[in-house]
Structure 1
Amino acid sequence: MFLRNETFESFIKSYKVVTSLVIIHIFFYIWIYWFPFLGGEEIYWLGIGNNPLVASGDFWRLVTPIFLHGGLTHMLFNSFSLVLFGPALETMLGRLKFITAYLATGILANIAFYFLGSPHVIHLGASGAIFGLFGIYVYMVLLRKDLINRMNSQLIMTIVAIGVIMTFLNPGVNILAHLFGLIAGAAIAPLFLNGVSIYSQRRPVHDSDEVSFDPNRWAKRNHFKKNLIFYVVGGFAGMVLFFYLVSAFLL
């Protein structure tokens, strides 16, 4: 589910929502940090999460922080996490359900921060929505085992555990956004996974003349290779999440 073997072109063709979200991340990063004199600075202050301004009527600030980031490293690690963990869910849920779930969990995380967070802290970043995706995966691992195999279950639970631990170890991370994004994802998962079957997960995502994404490849390899690949991918994903959270703390 999380090992990408597509070409750049086939990835864009197969995962249009994930690709669009990454493009939005890059677009706003370039506009805000490279061209502040062309309205980038205004966009930053108009879009950043700010509880007193939300209370005064700037309700769009519950949505816009999902697309903004605190710098290049912050943007890259959020985007890479989305590229790594988003495609399988976009394939399973379909584009409309996926983008709705992504935005809903991000907004719910920001609402939680509005009610429980400090009024003196401004916030931004897609991590609440990304933890929302993790929440959907956690629900699958616990209650929809038909949608995810054992290896991927172990991988996602390891990543979630690392993410939660690092959230508490780094005080600069938006703890509320991470935790409530995760909770929101698990809470809405039954609604969004209703009617999703294992067939939806396994349908091809490439043209017939391209190398297709086959989640059953694990069953086609011997035990040693299967475990080796699992640990390599798991370790790499863990490192990505670790450095992402560290970068969020530093920023």
Structure 2
Amino acid sequence: MSGAEAARRAFAPNWQGRAALAALAIYSVYAASQLDIGLERIWHGFSEAGAFLGRMVPPNFTRWQLLLDGMLESLQIAFISSAVGIVLSLPIALLAARNLMPWWVSAPARAFIGFCRSLHYVIVAILFVKAIGFGVLAGICALVVASIGFISKLFAEAIEEISPKQVEAVRATGAGFAAVLLYGVLPQVASRFVGFCIYQIDSNLRNSTMVGIVGAGGIGGTLFAAFKRFDYDFVAAILLVIIALIFAAELVATRVRAALR
């Protein structure tokens, strides 16, 4: 084979990929036309956004006590839901791990994890608000379900990626199932588990500010009430506090991850 022929074969055009990209572009244009998305509407939205942002300046922190109460409530929702979700996720993940359990155990566990992941946490919060009423309990339950869906999946995948040699070595000593988990499985995944847990706490801090919008407690309820009153300077204060909280949580999470390495 000559050099020119090899070059032509190495850089042969991918007509299937190009056709897929062209089809995606055509469908995007069609979908935009069906959804009434146009430059005129976008430009009008930017002008309205400018007026809206102008009403948010300067932020109003005079009702700091109401703001503080809402933020503390969101923090409590985040930490309680994370703790409960993580504790429940570990046994579910063990049941879902296909290298530890038979298929008739792992399949239902994976189906349950998929069910928890199938609905957005805001939709789950609405369901709990309708079921048990307004307040923080609905928000905690919604974020527990979201935590189980996310953490259990990551835990199960981490367990399935472990080396079987250590597990077999522990089994060779005649150890029971609990000892195999304690000495053969958990040492291999402990650091990853900690990282997943830190990420979930960070995620629930953000999510706890959203569930309040549907009546599940937290700063989201305060934010939604301020929007309904057209109290946009107070809205700006709430948003700034939420952003500061998320940045602080990210810094703490980064320090913890670095300390565990």
Bigger helix share = 2
TM-score in same-fold range (> 0.5): no
Structure number, greater radius of gyration: 2
**What TM-score range do you get, normalising by the shorter chain?**
0.3 to 0.5
